[in-house]
Amino acid sequence: MTQIVKMKGMNKYFGKLHVLKNIDLTVEQGEVVVIIGASGSGKSTLIRCVNGLEEFESGTLEVDNHPLAPRGGNQKNLAEIRKEVGMVFQQFNLFPHLTVKNNITLAPTRVKRTAQVVANATADRLLERVGIGSQADKYPSQLSGGQQQRVAIARALAMEPRLMLFDEPTSALDPEMIGEVLDVMRELAKEGMTMMVVTHEMGFAREVADRVIYIHEGQIVEEGKPDDVFDNPQNERTQAFLSRVLAH
Amino acid sequence: MPRPIPPNPTETHTVEFQFQFDWQAAINSIPYLAKGIPYTLMISFGGLAIGFVLGIVFGLLSINKSRALRWPATAYIEIFRGTPILVQVLFIFYGLPDLIGGPIDPLTAGIAAIALNSGAYISEVVRGGVQSIDKGQTEAGLSLGLSRPQTFWTIIWPQAFRRMIPPLGNQAIVSIKDTSLFSVIGVGELVRQGQVYIANTFTAFEVYFVVALMYLAITLSLSLILRLLERRGVASA
């Protein structure tokens, strides 16, 4: 099987703060990896390293066989990696000055030089797929949070990524809108998309993940199949964390 | 010898103040004063156009990662914001010819002064506008594979520019009024025209009143245009 992400001995600092400690992690093609952990544990930083939004200090990182150098190194592969890796953010980060459709067609037309008509057709198809086909000409501010996040997913998919990163995609949503976004993600997973998901939605993790990773203070302390991690955690940190988040 | 009659303390004395606004004088001055309007507009908008370019260049340099690029921008901004525009124009008109070995015509000196001065303020407007855009916008652009310049010009700049319209309008109005100072170097702008006219007619009140109205007409039209521009922007933001 093809390995889409390969991390070896990766270390990341924010100033003196050691946020990622000696991370070894591989993600296979088609795999859904859910990363859980307390806030500040480094889980978002970990996936932000994959598309170079954060630089790391030492170790190695390969994304789809393109090595990404540590800070100060040659970043010539970064552009290629970003074309192949889509990302969905907690705050959606849609472009407020562009219509929904133009949010989606911007990158394909600018980066891949796709013709506007072709990009428009793709955008329509993707909007249909995430269930908001009728909103193409609206501006993001005219949509609900759940709709905005689904547009953000469509926007990332328009670049036909080999890997999708989700950084707490439902954390900024009203409770009644979480389901519609998780549904789209579930669908995506079913279609075989390789995904790295940082989330607090334990139900989603248990149901959709092929593998769950628990990070504590910048270290992977537990990883395994969701049922094993949730029902029979080995590490006492994981046990404590899960008893806190699953208690309510 | 008859004694002068003492003024009756119950009688009120009004000092006769025989001033009357001479409408005819005001109206007569209009054609002569109006000859100053093209100069005022030329200096204002010529200067502001160049100032806008300077503002974009130095504003963006001032938030560049490289310190070597930041400091000349900061120096420029501090110097031209921190010295009076009157001194700047006098320096350009009377001082610079010594350096370049030839005279500078007053119109050019005026445009240059507005350009350099407004450029410094606009740099700060540009910096503020760009920095006000959420970091997540840049991250979203980069994560989609756009290059840094593409991300900036297609995502950040359009949003920042919309936010820059009110402070830019403010600066335009300030600069239009600043051109009145250039009467000192003899450009035939509004105030200068007024001064020359008054020297012949001694109708200072009426003439400066008309001059003030002419400035107001220019600045109010500009305010109106800007308000329309802003309203159009709001609809899509």
Q: Please list every residue in chain B whose beta carbon sits closer than 8 Å to the beta carbon of residue A93.
A: 134, 136-137, 139-140
User: Are A155 and B144 inside 8 Å of each other by CB?
Assistant: yes
Average pLDDT, chain A: 95
ipTM of the complex: 0.95
**Other beta carbons within 10 Å of B140:** 28
Q: Is residue B45 part of a domain?
A: yes
B147 close contact with A: CB closer than 8 A: yes
In this structure, is residue B131 part of a structural domain? yes
> Mean pLDDT throughout A43-47?
96
Count of domains for chain B: 1
Structural domain for B94, as ranges = 36-174
Over range B167-182, report the average pLDDT. Answer: 96
For A50, nearest residue in chain B (alpha carbons): B143
Q: How is the beta sheet containing A85-88 ordered, strand by strand? A: A85-88, A163-167, A194-198, A32-36, A211-216, A219-224
Banded pLDDT at A248 (limits 50, 70, 90): low
Is residue B187 situated within a structural domain? no
Q: Mark which residues 167-226 of A lie under 8 Å from B by CB.
A: none
Q: What is the pLDDT of residues A162-214, one digit of tens each?
A: 999 999 999 999 999 999 999 999 999 999 999 999 999 999 999 999 999 99
CA distance B112 to B88: 9
Q: Is B153 on the interface with A (CB under 8 A)?
A: no
Residue A231 pLDDT > 80: yes
Instruction: Provide mean pLDDT across the span B219-229.
Output: 93
pLDDT at residue B113, rounded to an integer: 98
pTM of the entire structure? 0.88
Asked if residue B137 belongs to a domain, the reply is yes
pLDDT per position as a tens digit, B72-115: 999 999 999 999 999 999 999 999 999 998 999 999 999 999 99
C-alpha–C-alpha distance, residues A6 and A61, integer Å: 6
- Chain A positions in Cβ-Cβ contact with residue B150 (cut-off 8 Å): 110-111
Q: Within 10 A of B90 (CB to CB), how many other CB atoms are there?
A: 17
Nearest to A188 by CA among A238, A211, A219, A154: A154
Q: Which residue of A has its CA nearest to B146?
A: A111
Write the pLDDT tens digit of every residue in A126-154: 999 999 999 999 999 999 999 999 999 99
Q: Are A94 and B140 inside 8 Å of each other by CB?
A: yes
Determine the pLDDT at residue A73.
Answer: 87
N-terminal to C-terminal alpha carbon distance within chain B: 91
Q: What is the pLDDT of residue B19?
A: 78
Query: Among A21-25, A50-54, A68-72, which stretch is predicted with the lowest mean pLDDT?
Result: A68-72
B180 domain-assigned = no
CATH code for position B132: 1.10.3720.10
pLDDT at B235 over 50: no
| pLDDT score recorded for residue B12 | 61
Q: Is residue B151 part of a domain?
A: yes
Q: For residue B90, tell me if it sits in a domain.
A: yes
Does residue B188 form part of some domain? no
**Under an 8 A CB cutoff, do A111 and B134 touch?**
no
In B, minimum Cα distance to A104 occurs at: B144
Evaluate if residue B237 carries a pLDDT over 70.
no
